Amino acid sequence: MDLSRRNFIKTACLCSIFPASAIKSSFGAAERPKADRPPNILFILTDDQGYGDIGRHGHPLLKTPNIDRLYDESVRFDNFYVSPCCAPTRAALLTGMHEFKNGVTHTIEPREHLNKDAVTLQELLKKRGYATGHFGKWHLGNSPGYFAHERGFDVSVRPCGVHTSSNFDAGIIRNGKQEDSKGFREDVLFDEAINFIEDNKDKPFFCYLATFSPHTPLVAPEKFIKPYKGKTRDDIAVFLGMIANIDWNVGRIMSKLDQLGLDDNTIVMFMNDNGQTVGLDLYNADMRGCKCTIWHGGSRAMSFWRWKGVWKPRTEDALTAHLDVLPTLTELSGAEIPAGTRKRLDGYSLVELLESKDGDFPRDRKLYEHVARWPNGMADSHKYAMAAVRQGNYLYVRSRPCDNPECTPKVMGNQCHTLRLVEKGATAATYTRDNAQFHWGVTPGDGWALYDTKKDPGCMNDISKKHPVLVKQLKADYDKWWDTVRPAMINEE
């Protein structure tokens, strides 16, 4: 059977496969419990937290006891990738399609606008009978017709003034209407999510909690920053304090699930939306690259999936991605995917991987990556600028600027300009004061290189000459993929 579509065959019978008690399966985890309703879903997505920014991933300073506990109780997809920056990641994970297919190629309007024809996860879950709530960052359209509460969420709560330092008592916007709020922004968002869970405890719910922390501006309650002051740069200390605050809030919401008796029938997911940012010079889990680069550290993400008593905690190394969220959660919930949408999906269901380390999954899958963020109207000249293909542990990558003379430093957030400076010897760049040659490195010659990121997370040993057949195939695959997605970039003109 075509593994990419296996999940859809099962949806017709999912309504009856959640029993009240669980039995142990042959691999040591419990079977999915049968019950009168599908599992609740709590999905926590953080903004600009790097893969290495938790205790369990070896951070030398940061303490994250609650996220570490979640790590210990989860299936951990350790070869998991998102997009190199935030709006593209959100578009891909909520649709199961590469962001380019949804018209999202930037983080600024209108190129952050999620195609109105896109079918979203929350819409599918809502049709399945779920209460749907969004709390925090949306970043897929800030104009009529594109807001979260117009795209399948029953309730959407976002803070006011998120791009200023006014992150205390700043107010919230609930389904388009402003209200007062008291306290730190993230605390308010978690309060709102907890209230949503309490209000919907007697029906299945999908709670999508997308934090703004630890994205700049760097602000957090002082008690969370204090443990890191004097141990690292001041800006990094605040950054770590913002993550420590997230960790505290994760503990709060997990405790609430337990108090409400929802723990056993709630899937809890925790991910970050792109690579490392402010803390790059302190720790990046030995990886090369950061947010907005095409290197390994630009898109590798943590991905923890917890279903207490059902999935056996372990680490899984199969190549997985944000694209797999929608196919997986629709299978687990029994939500029906329209046939037309089904054909366009790029993601795969992870259900059999969640249930068994030997579960069916396309181990030869390919992921196509691109930093995008090119100047308006310049997509074609950036086809090969900051592009990559992943297969297994291989990263076939081209980290070079474009050759378009109109792509100038005046363009906001122009990564091509940064790469040109690095190619000339610059040591400082976005997110790093001293290590631009490493994290923003430019691939030599024609620009394409091949790395085994399992053996070489720093991407220092180009092995392309040892694998000429693989390189030729990956290059051809990339060209074919680009030609497929280019017409879908509807916000480019």
Q: Residue 154: exposed, middle, or buried by beta-carbon count in 10 A (0-12, 13-18, 19+)?
A: middle
Asked if the model's pLDDT at residue 46 lies above 60, the reply is: yes
Are the C-beta atoms of 237 and 231 separated by less than 8 Å?
yes
List, in order, residues 6 or more apart from 61 with CB less than 8 Å away.
228, 231, 232, 240, 282, 283
User: What tokens does 227 get?
Assistant: 């443990």
- What percent of the chain shows pLDDT beyond 90? 85
Average pLDDT over residues 62-83: 98
pLDDT of res. 413: 59
Are the C-beta atoms of 441 and 288 separated by less than 8 Å?
yes
For 387-430, what is each residue's pLDDT tens digit? Answer: 999 999 999 999 999 999 999 876 655 799 999 999 999 999 99
Out of 1-5, 78-82, 208-212, which region has the weakest mean confidence (pLDDT)?
1-5
Question: Between 68 and 37, where is the model more confident?
Answer: 68
Asked if the model's pLDDT at residue 281 lies above 80, the reply is: yes
Out of 65-79, 138-152, 408-422, 428-442, which region has the weakest mean confidence (pLDDT)?
408-422
Asked if the model's pLDDT at residue 35 lies above 70, the reply is: no
For 421-470, what is each residue's pLDDT tens digit? Answer: 999 999 999 999 999 999 999 999 889 999 999 999 999 999 999 999 99
User: What tokens does 174 get?
Assistant: 């609930």
pLDDT of res. 34: 54
What residue ranges define each of the domains in the chain, with the CATH number in brackets? 37-355 (3.40.720.10), 366-488 (3.30.1120.10)
Query: Which band of pLDDT confidence, cut at 50, 70 and 90, is reported for residue 28?
Result: very low
- What percent of the chain shows pLDDT beyond 70? 91
Helical residues (DSSP H) of 211-314, grouped into ranges: 222-225, 234-259, 296-299
pLDDT of res. 5: 35
pLDDT of res. 254: 98
User: What tokens does 46 get?
Assistant: 């953080």
For 282-327, what is each residue's pLDDT tens digit? Answer: 999 999 999 999 999 999 999 999 999 999 999 999 999 999 999 9
Report pTM: 0.92
Rounded to the nearest integer, the mean pLDDT of the chain is 91
